[in-house]
Chain A
Amino acid sequence: MILEILEYPDPRLRTIAKPVDEVTDDTRKLIDDMFETMYDAPGIGLAATQVNVHKQIIVMDVSDDNSEPRVFINPKIDVLDGELEAMQEGCLSVPGFYEDVKRIEHCRITAKDRNGEDFVLEATGLLAVCIQHEMDHLNGKLFVDYLSSLKRTRIRKKLEKLHKQSA
């Protein structure tokens, strides 16, 4: 089932997600729906926050051909290399806008998979950028928060106008 994606400046995107106590069939159903929603959008990552479920769940696939689906439940991040690299990011909750954001280049993620098993992953490049982007969502943060207030306001106004037109 394709879920509705909240769009900036929706205040619900600012909710801080709670950890998942137990990975159940309901969690897996949500994960499947999140993948379907992400692939349909199309996007390379989606946090539960964006579909108005405030639990620490992320789905992701940075491959060219949708061949590497990844699930992160209750993710924690360690910085391995502090060097920052700016890369163009966009967001399914901020449709149509792409801006350079500086992120940590190399990090280690500890999380649970869709079966509730712990795993560790070292990430660089696009994967590292995407994980940091999605983990921000779980903390109520958006990539536009890294931009100048001028740019952020411009994006907000344009999206508000679009929302009004489609309402």
Chain B
Amino acid sequence: MAYQPLPFRAVAANVLLAVENGQSLSQCLPVALSQLPPEQRPQLQAICYGSCRWFHRLDGELNQRLKKPLRKPDRVVHHLMLVALFQLRFSEQATYAILNETVEACRELDKPHLTGLVNGVLRAAEREGAPEPEDDSSRFSHPMWMIEKLKHNWPDDWQAILGANNTQAPMTLRVNALRFSRDEYLNLLAEAGIGALATRFAPYGIQLERPVPVDRLPWFDDGAASVQDEAAQLCTTLLDLQPGQRVLDACAAPGGKTCAILEACAGLTEVVAIDESAERLPRVQENLDRLDLIATLTEADAANTGQWWDGQAFDRILLDVPCSATGVIRRHPDIKLLRRESDIVPLAGIQLGLLQAMWSVLKPGGRLVYATCSVFPQENHRIIQRFLKQQEQAQLIQIEAAWGRNMDTGRQLLPDPDSHDGFFYAVLEKPEP
């Protein structure tokens, strides 16, 4: 067998094509990275993320420049040009190198008949510069439905949200409170020459000045700290964890919050972590192993309690439901291409169903924290409202906090370019009979 590694641009174009066809970057990027020599991998990653982040703007420009769309079998060349446009507009790379390599990659992709077109389009793009965006989708680089929905939901903040989504998220750590105090770990970071500041709201959070590979972090492999956004870390401040409690993390993978719970309170009786993805559950175990923590892992659909529940009610439940992930677009820019407006109603159905099921396994006197990384009230505020209509005895606890905005049912964090992701939390308690 003969094997010819594709040039990285052609690989990048194939990744974008896969995302357009519904695969997430976390699914298709690892496979693509393994096709490349190690020294090219960071560049591929940066290009794939950047091209998704700016997809709608670049696509708008490209469609303006193409007189008619490429035929379907040639679609990959469209993405090849998007990658080149991304670099023209957002990187320092020399223009002639971008042009030559893109034409070459077009040939490698077995589309020699399009090299002239590619060359012409990119030369014009270079000569004329970026055009004035034709519409909001291209101006804000988001799908139109998302912009419209955000305008409607957040009349004063939609532009700020869109802007924050287009930035690169900071790298935030959660110090393992069982090992180090936050100040101790800040000192270790300073000694290692890594600039960092304590987060404003999360008690164990540290935000780095710039991202670093985790193997540069002091004692990382020994479980000194984990990578986790500040908003996600706030879950432990709402759970009111006490020694002796039995805690459930209902949609646990990859386990960041499971570990945060175990670190936040040393004497918990048991933490049960459930996830329905057999592929993602090993990630939870890896995280637990690195931090030297113990949890009971169960592969199951949490909503189907008959399948997994042993009949022992939980004192505390963290329900971080599957959602549109519109609060973490800056970390997962492929969401802009993957999510459809029609996804939201079925997601809301799943969310309400999960909340009802988890309520049934919560001990009287117990507390449930509902969380999403969405910025749509339809998945947040509205779910809690709908739930409270059905469960009149459920008691809504007001969150007293300096972060986020009060939404009556809970608190909404909007993505902040300087700190946390977009997130929603609500706290419910089940009264004693």
Contact = CB atoms under 8 A, between A and B. Distances in A.
Interface stretch (A24-32, A38-46, A156-164): A38-46
Residue among B2, B3, B4, B6 with most chain A CB within 10 A = B2
A91 interface: yes
Nearest to B108: A98
Nearest to A131: B1
A125 B34 contact: yes
Contacts of B2: 41-44, 89-92, 95, 98
Contact of B1 (A64, A85, A89, A125): A89
Contact of A92 (B1, B31, B34): B1
A126 B3 contact: yes
Contacts of A64: 37
A130 interface: yes
A98 B4 CA distance: 8
Contacts of B110: 98
A54 interface: no
A44 B1 contact: yes
A133 B6 CA distance: 19
Interface residues of B, number: 9
Interface in A85-121: 85, 88-92, 95, 98
A62 B37 CA distance: 13
Interface in B1-43: 1-4, 6, 31, 34, 37
Contacts of B4: 88, 90, 98
A147 B37 CA distance: 28
Contacts of B31: 85
A43 B1 contact: yes
Contact of A45 (B1, B6, B34, B37): B1
Nearest to B6: A88
A125 B3 CA distance: 13
Interface in B23-70: 31, 34, 37
A150 to B, nearest CB: 12
A50 B149 CA distance: 61
Interface of B: 1-4, 6, 31, 34, 37, 110
Interface of A: 41-46, 62, 64, 85, 88-92, 95, 98, 125-126, 129-130, 133-134, 143
Given A43-B1, A43-B2, A130-B3, 15 more contacts: A41-B2, A44-B1, A44-B3, A45-B1, A64-B37, A85-B31, A88-B3, A88-B6, A89-B1, A90-B2, A90-B3, A91-B1, A98-B4, A98-B110, A143-B1
